[in-house]
Chains A and B, each alone.
Chain A
Amino acid sequence: MVSLVMMKKKYLKAFALSGIAVFLLATTAQAQITEKAEFGKFAITNVTVHTVIDGVIEGGVVLINGEEIEFVGRNARITSDYQHIDASGKHVYPGFMDAGTQLGLQEIGAVQVTRDQAELGEFNPHVRAFTAINPSSVSIPVTRVNGVTHVVSMPVSGRLSGKATLIDLYGYTPDSMAISPNAAMHLNWPTAMKRGPHDQRSDKEVEEAYQKNIKQLNDLWERAVFYNEMMESYQEGSGDQERPEVQKKLEAMREVISGNIPVIISVDQKKDILNAIAWTEKHPKTHFILAGVQEGWRVADEIAEADLPCLVSTLYTPERDYDNYQRPYQNPAMLHKAGVKVAIATGEIENVRNAPYHAGYAATYGLGREEALKAITLNPAEIFGVDDKLGSIAKGKQANLFISDGDPFEPMTQIEQVFIRGYKIPMVSRHSQLYEEYLNRGAETN
């Protein structure tokens, strides 16, 4: 009994301590960026404009008015109320978009209390990344100063992880950052293969586990379809019907079932990809996107045939030891050549800032600069149905763009100014602030 009390005390103490730690983290986790973003009218002149949808304009002008791009072209009358940015010798690109991340959902990998991307349970269609986006995450300014202005951020645990959100990387609330609060549902495809060299299960056991997982998924799906039909018939009905009981998880599936938001299926190996393709064909009303797809190149034709866009990265080691060492770099190009629409998705959190280099490798290994540029701008915008606003530089589009001193796929290039939703973003992050403070720290007595 004594020990039980002591245990309790100990736990209480530990709890209190962890509470303090959380408080400290929460207060220190506010990025100390005092400079405010500017908003208004901006004229970027003498610049090479990479519009993505309408070629490259040398010696071009981009006018920003409020949230929108007002003009793109060569000759513009610039009135004195525009803040003038002479960008001679520089380039303008649409803000880059990383189509698969957990940015804003995790602050520190090994500190569990800062990890909000992994809810408990296998089926969580009702949980939303949007809810847990921390606008003050130190990783957000770190990311955007590298030219990445938009991310899809997603929950990752269990079978149905929950809903991904598409946000831009400037704002004080998730609401102001969200382009699509519910951008997609995330499904972790159940594997029909062993989990690794240490998986001791027999082939039969592996197959049984797969069948069980598929059955669970199908059961949920069937219930969701039924629930959706029931609710639709109730809503279309004369009003004298009794309202069916609302079920949270099934309610959350309705916009998926009806095709209003797509399902991102994370799947990597050939056999699993083929299983996933066959499964998607049973659900013609729902839109699907494949993500990861590390062995997509093995079944590129099948993926193209099924008309499934792919969210891919390039920085991982080959899936199988006997594959050519270049396959991860070549995967986007091989998918593209088969006719698949590809978008860059790093899968990263604090290093989403490397998304341009993922695209750079794809460009080098067969995709080419132009297509690689699309894969990190217009393609993800189209895949998530927001290309009316994002992914290119054109009149009427949202002003998401950056000025660079060269090719943004090159790590040596500097990103000089980022605009998000028309806001001229302070080019400052935790990382640059530490640089400013410590580069010339001064005498050792400091």
Chain B
Amino acid sequence: MTMKRIVLLFLGLCVSFSGYAQEKGSVLITNGTVLTITDGNKENTDVLIENGIITRIGKDIPAPKGIKTVDATGKYVMPGIIDAHSHIAAVDVNEWTHPVTAEVSMEESVNPNDINIYWALAGGVTSIHLMHGSANVIGGQNETLKLRYGSSMNDMRFKDAPRTIKFALGENPTRVHGQGFNVQPRTRMGVEQVIRNHFDAALDYRRDRQDYLDARDAYEKGERESPPVPVARNIRMETLVDIIEGEIRVHCHSYRSDEIMMLMRVFEDYGIKSYTFQHANEAFKIAPELRKNNAYTSVFSDWWAYKFEVYYSTAFNASILNANGVINSINSDSGELIRHLNHEAAKTVHYGETSKQDALKMITINPAIQLGIDEKVGSLEEGKHGDVAIWSGHPLSIYSVAEATFIDGQQYFDRSGDPDDMRLDPDPEGSFAEARKRWYEEHGRRGATCMEGAEIRFSKRGMQF
């Protein structure tokens, strides 16, 4: 065991036990071109972060005593990138055993030592929306994280971020459940009814449960003679009730415009108002309807043709949505793409001539709005969190690289100072070189992580997972 490894192991232990991760840092970043996102670009400007919060943005800010200064002359300072669709740092992704598993949550499925977190930090990313998979119509609850690499499961959480849940329409749930298990849904018609049936059941549950609780109260107060027949608590149903009551935002895996229209009709019927369509390759076809319903979209820059429902796609999707006033973000859904989301956003300039400013919004303030954390992050403003990345040049240029990434003023990535090996839990088995997937694509899409754990192969012998 090398000295470096011992030191790293030790650091890893310190990190896990000391609670370092939620600590707030202070730093003064000087003389950079500051891309505030919400208040224009400011040249030769300083950003002061104190105790994790941006306290000042301006020129020639004197460094408070004891605060580290980082010179950003000739460099660009922008808010940390937010990925509204990720599965990195996940322990498990898919609880695929039933078409509806609203009761499960990614909250307890976080690996803070996943090396992919560090690789994302090296791409200037500071927050991700860790999503449940797309194998079922109503999947598990997601978790919004800050990429506090090496902290604990608890400390990875984005404090006070609204609750969100994963829905999935189209081929994934119909393939896994209809084709795989021979239960509804086998079709998009079935998908709608699975949602409606469960919402109706949830409303019945809410009434029955409340009736029971009221009766029990009455019995305990002696206002009723016999104890009521209990209605057991059901977390799945309670979660669905929370969705209907607006406590949980829906993030729905979807591709085709018809299925997106379907879900908007269903949501209108049940009074559900805050939702984002994830992937949404055909959202461009119904941009006016999405705009009218204040629906959000979070799309790939250019992924398509890996399955039939994304065949009639266009890389101009994001630009069409943006031009029609839909709040759109660019996401990765991939441990590889998350490393260069800035360049994925730059493709919206290429495909449809979205402005640079709007392109940057799609990886900062827009995903923050979709996750309900835009009061705290997504732009550089006084009072917001000190989640910042410093870039060698304009972040949309292919020649720019992230040089430093801060979360709450704490530095988590330092291009010039970090060693090659940044693992925090060196696993002796992990250093064994294994032949991974071949360099070329085998199915037209790299890292189909949405279906991780639920990949089904149909053979003569039946299903294989």
Chain A residues within 8 Å of B, Cβ to Cβ: 100-102, 106-111, 138-139, 154, 156, 188, 191, 193-197, 199, 266, 268-272, 291-294, 313, 315-326, 345, 347-351, 353-354, 357, 360-361, 363-365, 409-414, 430-432, 434-435, 438-439, 441-444
Q: Does A441 contact B314, Cβ atoms closer than 8 Å?
A: no
Of B161-169, B238-246, B420-428, the stretch lying at the interface with chain A is B420-428
A-B pairs with the 10 shortest C-beta distances?
A109-B444, A292-B439, A347-B440, A110-B307, A435-B316, A360-B398, A350-B305, A191-B435, A434-B314, A109-B306
- Inside 8 A of B396's CB, which chain A residues have their CB? 411-412
In the complex, 18 of the A-B residue pairs with CB atoms within 8 angstroms, ordered by the A residue number, are A108-B444, A193-B434, A193-B435, A291-B440, A316-B336, A316-B446, A317-B119, A322-B420, A322-B423, A322-B431, A350-B306, A363-B399, A364-B398, A431-B316, A431-B351, A432-B316, A434-B284, A439-B323
Q: Is B442 an interface residue (CB 8 A)?
A: yes
Q: Is B465 an interface residue (CB 8 A)?
A: no
Q: Does B315 contact A431, Cβ atoms closer than 8 Å?
A: yes
CA distance A294 to B434 in the complex (A): 12
With contact pairs A109-B305, A319-B433 given, residues A102 and B441 touching in the complex (Cβ less than 8 Å): yes
Q: Is B438 an interface residue (CB 8 A)?
A: yes
- Inside 8 A of A325's CB, which chain B residues have their CB? 118-119, 122, 339, 422
CA distance A395 to B422 in the complex (A): 51
- Inside 8 A of B289's CB, which chain A residues have their CB? 444
CA distance A160 to B118 in the complex (A): 38
Q: Does A108 contact B434, Cβ atoms closer than 8 Å?
A: no
CA distance A363 to B401 in the complex (A): 12
Partner pick for A292 among B316, B423, B438, CB 8 A cutoff: B438
CA distance A186 to B441 in the complex (A): 15
CA distance A272 to B422 in the complex (A): 25
CA distance A324 to B419 in the complex (A): 8
- Inside 8 A of B441's CB, which chain A residues have their CB? 102, 347-349
- Inside 8 A of A409's CB, which chain B residues have their CB? 398-399
Q: Does B421 contact A322, Cβ atoms closer than 8 Å?
A: yes
Of B43-51, B58-66, B265-273, B342-350, the stretch lying at the interface with chain A is B342-350
- Inside 8 A of A194's CB, which chain B residues have their CB? 432, 434-435
Q: Does A188 contact B438, Cβ atoms closer than 8 Å?
A: yes
Q: Is B319 an interface residue (CB 8 A)?
A: yes
- Inside 8 A of A313's CB, which chain B residues have their CB? 439
With contact pairs A361-B398, A411-B398 given, residues A324 and B316 touching in the complex (Cβ less than 8 Å): no
For B442, the closest partner residue in chain A by CB is: A156
- Is chain A's binding surface mostly helix, strand, loop or mixed? loop
CA distance A411 to B396 in the complex (A): 8
Q: Does A411 contact B350, Cβ atoms closer than 8 Å?
A: yes
For B288, the closest partner residue in chain A by CB is: A444
With contact pairs A106-B444, A108-B306 given, residues A412 and B336 touching in the complex (Cβ less than 8 Å): no
Which parts of B379-404 form the interface with A (CB within 8 Å)?
A: 396-401
CA distance A347 to B401 in the complex (A): 24
Q: Is B115 an interface residue (CB 8 A)?
A: yes
> Interface range on chain B: under 10, 10 to 19, 20 to 34, or 35 or more?
35 or more
Q: Does B420 contact A410, Cβ atoms closer than 8 Å?
A: no
CA distance A404 to B172 in the complex (A): 40
What number of residue pairs across chains A and B have CB atoms under 8 A from each other? 200
- Inside 8 A of A268's CB, which chain B residues have their CB? 435-436, 438-439
CA distance A139 to B129 in the complex (A): 31
Partner pick for B308 among A110, A442, A444, CB 8 A cutoff: A110
Interface string of B306-344 (1 = CB under 8 A from A): 111001111110011001000000000001100110010
Residue from B323, B339, B442, B444 with most neighbouring chain A CB atoms (10 Å): B444
Partner pick for B431 among A154, A320, A326, A361, CB 8 A cutoff: A320
Kindly provide the distance from the CB of A395 to the nearest chain B CB, expressed in whole angstroms.
Answer: 32
Q: Is B222 an interface residue (CB 8 A)?
A: no
For B307, the closest partner residue in chain A by CB is: A110
CA distance A106 to B445 in the complex (A): 12
Kindly provide the distance from the CB of B344 to the nearest chain A CB, expressed in whole angstroms.
Answer: 8
Q: Is B292 an interface residue (CB 8 A)?
A: yes
Q: Does A411 contact B284, Cβ atoms closer than 8 Å?
A: no
- Inside 8 A of A195's CB, which chain B residues have their CB? 434-435
Q: Is B287 an interface residue (CB 8 A)?
A: yes
With contact pairs A199-B434, A411-B396, A444-B289 given, residues A347 and B439 touching in the complex (Cβ less than 8 Å): yes
CA distance A139 to B352 in the complex (A): 18
Q: Is B285 an interface residue (CB 8 A)?
A: yes
CA distance A350 to B320 in the complex (A): 21
CA distance A156 to B346 in the complex (A): 32
- Inside 8 A of A101's CB, which chain B residues have their CB? 440
CA distance A316 to B338 in the complex (A): 11
Residue from A100, A291, A438, A439 with most neighbouring chain B CB atoms (10 Å): A438
For A320, the closest partner residue in chain B by CB is: B433
- Inside 8 A of B118's CB, which chain A residues have their CB? 325
CA distance A365 to B339 in the complex (A): 14
Q: Does B435 contact A269, Cβ atoms closer than 8 Å?
A: yes
CA distance A409 to B446 in the complex (A): 21
Kindly provide the distance from the CB of A331 to the nearest chain B CB, expressed in whole angstroms.
Answer: 11
Q: Does B420 contact A193, Cβ atoms closer than 8 Å?
A: no
Partner pick for B302 among A138, A353, A432, A443, CB 8 A cutoff: A353
Contacts A108-B444, A272-B435, A410-B346 aside, 12 further interface pairs with beta carbons under 8 A come to: A109-B306, A110-B307, A110-B308, A193-B435, A266-B439, A347-B440, A354-B302, A361-B398, A409-B399, A431-B314, A434-B312, A442-B288
